[in-house]
């Protein structure tokens, strides 16, 4: 999984604008250059909540890794980065591989461009 980092802390962490997904949600976005990824945007609000958000995402990443390793679950890996959205609000951006499934029966990764 690619790592995404802002060159300057507290700025938008992507070199391109985030686009609305087919789901038409401001919480689930996409990158034009990487249609195989989805970016989930979570507003942090008060900076004092940032530590809790980072800890929660790190714990989730560890737990999903354990489920993959110990039980063979097909859970896509994800990266997360803190930055500001296009209107300057502090956010956690979670970048995850887009999955395809029919009725949730069979999951597969979306092919890379």
Confidence of residue 107 (pLDDT cuts 50, 70, 90): low
For the cut 70, the answer to whether the pLDDT of residue 7 exceeds it is no
Average pLDDT for 48-57: 92
Among 20-24, 41-45, 64-68, which stretch is predicted with the lowest mean pLDDT? 20-24
Q: What is the pLDDT of residue 19?
A: 82
pTM of whole model > 0.85?
no
How far is CA 48 from its chain centroid?
Answer: 21
Domain ranges for the chain = 1-14+26-97
Which helix or strand (DSSP H or E) is residue 53 part of? helix 50-71
Question: How does the average pLDDT of the chain come out, rounded?
Answer: 80
User: What's the average model confidence in pLDDT over 71-89?
Assistant: 87
Strand ranges, E, within 27-89: 28-31, 34-43, 78-84
In the predicted model, is pLDDT for residue 8 greater than 60? no
More confident residue, 39 or 21: 39
**pLDDT tens-digit readout, 11-23:** 778 888 888 877 7
Rg over alpha carbons for the chain, rounded to the nearest Å, is 15
Torsion on CA atoms 102, 60, 46, 10, rounded to nearest 10: -90
CA torsion 27-28-34-36 (nearest 10°) is 150
Give the separation between CA 81 and CA 72, rounded to whole angstroms. Answer: 27
């Amino acid at each position: 999984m690619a790592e995404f980092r802002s060159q300057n802390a507290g700025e938008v962490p992507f070199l391109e604008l985030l686009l609305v997904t087919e789901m038409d949600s401001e919480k689930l976005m996409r990158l034009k250059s990487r249609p195989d990824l989805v970016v989930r945007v979570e507003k942090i609000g008060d900076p004092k909540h940032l530590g809790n958000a980072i800890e929660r995402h790190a714990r989730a990443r560890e737990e999903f890794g354990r489920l993959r390793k110990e039980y063979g679950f097909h859970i896509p890996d994800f990266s997360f980065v803190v930055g500001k959205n296009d209107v300057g609000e502090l956010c956690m951006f979670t970048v995850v591989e887009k999955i395809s499934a029919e009725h949730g029966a069979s999951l597969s990764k979306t092919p890379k461009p």
